Amino acid sequence: MRINSGKERFLTASDAKLLDKKAAEKFGMPVILLMENAGRCISEEALDMLGGRKGRRVAVFCGTGNNGGDGFCAARHLLARGVKPDIYLCGRISDVRNEAKVNLDVLLRMKQKIKEDCSRRLQPIKAKKYDLIIDALLGVGLRGPVRPACRKIIEAINASGSRVLSVDIPSGLEAARGKPADACVKAEKTVTFVAKKFGMASKAGKGCCGEIVVRSIGIAL
């Protein structure tokens, strides 16, 4: 499963999926638990980058898949720590499914505003100066070009001048080859889980990821 490069270990996108399957089938750890652990790790890295909570402006950009679910979960953990982020969704609330929907529904029950179809409302994003943007749009499963809605958001994130924390892998970076798609987030830091993804080892991958921090979500290789 793992790919070794010297002392470092790297995973492909298919490896990451196999780990989720292993966690569920061998250890009885559901995906929602792994997502909860990931969300907590993201919030901790975000707070570390902020250096303090008072008056900090944070945006969380979420996709409709599990990467977005990690972002929803991280937003809840930030709320618990006194940081109230703006939460943007690339898509509609009705598009979110499975474990990501569980975490989204929790935020909705907490009366948190979710800004749907945010690619159509980019002017407010450009006008706001965020201390930190959390990129939870696209995960390791990306293949081919980024769809237009996500591309607009990625371009807005890169043009924002804000510090950026990417979740698992910068949105738009292929996990296998480390090749940026037609649009790719340029992160200051990327928090990834279990091990680095293979694409992070390429020159382009390193340039998109910034500092890479590997965190545990409760499952070993």
Residue 195 CA from chain centroid, whole number: 15
The answer to whether position 10 is within a domain reads no
- In angstroms, the first-to-last Cα distance of the chain is 8
The answer to whether position 190 is within a domain reads yes
Nearest-CA neighbor of 168 among 205, 195, 200, 193?
A: 193
Q: DSSP per residue over the chain, as a string? A: --EEETTEEEE-HHHHHHHHHHHHHHH---HHHHHHHHHHHHHHHHHHHHS--TT--EEEEE-SSHHHHHHHHHHHHHHHTT---EEEESS-GGG--HHHHHHHHHHHHTT--EE-SGGG-HHHHHHS--SEEEEES--TT--SSPPHHHHHHHHHHHHS--EEEEESS-TTB-TTT--B-SS----SEEEEESSEEGGGGSHHHHHHH-EEEEE--S---
The answer to whether position 92 is within a domain reads yes
149: its two tokens: 């809605």
63: its two tokens: 């996709």
What string of pLDDT tens digits covers the 221 residues of the chain?
444 545 688 998 888 888 888 888 888 999 999 999 999 999 999 999 999 777 789 999 999 999 999 999 999 999 999 999 999 999 999 999 999 999 999 999 999 999 999 888 776 666 578 999 999 999 998 888 999 999 999 999 999 999 999 999 999 999 988 999 899 999 999 999 999 999 999 999 999 999 999 999 998 77
Identify the pLDDT of residue 5: 47
Strand 132-136 with 114-115, pairing: unpaired
The answer to whether position 12 is within a domain reads no
As for how many domains the chain has, the answer is 1
For residues 122 and 152, is the Cβ–Cβ distance under 8 A?
A: yes
Q: In what order do the strands lie in the sheet with 86-89?
A: 114-115, 86-89, 58-62, 132-136, 163-167, 189-193, 211-215
Identify the pLDDT of residue 15: 87
The answer to whether position 42 is within a domain reads yes
Which of left, alpha, beta for 100 (phi over 0: left; psi -120 to 50: alpha)? alpha
pLDDT digits (tens, 9 = 90+) for 72-106: 999 999 999 999 999 999 999 999 999 999 999 99
pLDDT digits (tens, 9 = 90+) for 34-61: 999 999 999 999 999 999 777 789 999 9
146: domain CATH number is 3.40.50.10260
The answer to whether position 13 is within a domain reads no
Q: What is the extent of the structural domain holding 46?
A: 29-215
The answer to whether position 191 is within a domain reads yes
The answer to whether position 117 is within a domain reads yes
